[in-house]
Amino acid sequence: MFTSVLMIERPLTATDVEFVTTLHGEEPVSFIVLLQPRGDQADLLLRAIDDVAMGELGEAVREGGEPEGAEARQPAELGLVHSVNALRAAGAEAVGQVVENHPIDKMKTVVDESGADEVIVLTAPHYVEEFFHRDWASRARHKVGVPVLKLFAHSE
């Protein structure tokens, strides 16, 4: 069975689930989903700049309203349950956990402990971080020891 560590920042959409579960054709896939709430990531200003760059001015204005810390925990846990259940419904094995701090360190630990074959980073575009190679995928490529695939999440 092929094992992927799947790093996300929001619950998976139906399109995301189909996308990641069909990446390896008919080969059975197991996912270890790591979800870090968007409000617990990066700098508020960087998130707002990303929204403006994507033409989502309304999102830029709402960035300050993203829950952070303990306030983000319950929505993150619900999003994780939704995502894991959606992967299972699509025929994949899946488990997951909410990541509160140091997502790259957590990725490395999970890859090492599980013997994962790859890491998939599935997030909205983060243009500023990507330009400076500070996004999760760029940083993970230098740390986790397995291939890292960067995919853009879909919205519904």
In the chain, how many domains are there? 1
CA 143, 109, 151, 128 torsion: positive or negative?
Answer: negative
What are the per-10-residue average pLDDT scores of the chain (156 residues)?
94 96 93 82 54 57 51 83 98 95 92 97 73 72 93 78
* Residue 19 falls inside a structural domain: yes
* Residue 56 falls inside a structural domain: no
* Residue 135 falls inside a structural domain: yes
* Residue 45 falls inside a structural domain: no
Q: Which two tokens stand for residue 30?
A: 């197991």
Please give the helix or strand (H or E) that residue 140 lies within, else none: helix 136-141
* Residue 54 falls inside a structural domain: no
* Residue 104 falls inside a structural domain: yes
Q: Which two tokens stand for residue 11?
A: 């619950």
pLDDT at 64: 46
pTM strictly above 0.85 = no
Distances (CA, A) of 71 to 46, 101, 121: 21, 14, 24
pLDDT at 40: 43
pLDDT at 73: 74
Give helix then strand counts, H and E, for the chain: 7, 5
Q: Which residues of 40-53 are buried (b: 16+ CB within 10 A; e: fewer)?
A: bbbeeebbbbbbee
Domain range for 87 is 2-39+67-152
Q: Residues, the chain, total?
A: 156
* Residue 49 falls inside a structural domain: no
pLDDT at 49: 59
Residue 14's contacts (CB-CB under 8 Å, 6 or more residues apart) are 86, 156
Give the side-chain half-sphere CA count within 13 A for 87: 26
pLDDT at 153: 85
Q: Return the DSSP state at 11.
A: P
pLDDT at 56: 60
pLDDT at 120: 97
Query: What is the DSSP track for 88-119?
Result: HHTT-EEEEEE--S-HHHHHHHHHHHHT-SEE
Chain Cα centroid distance, residue 31: 12
pLDDT at 135: 77
CATH number, position 113:
3.40.50.620
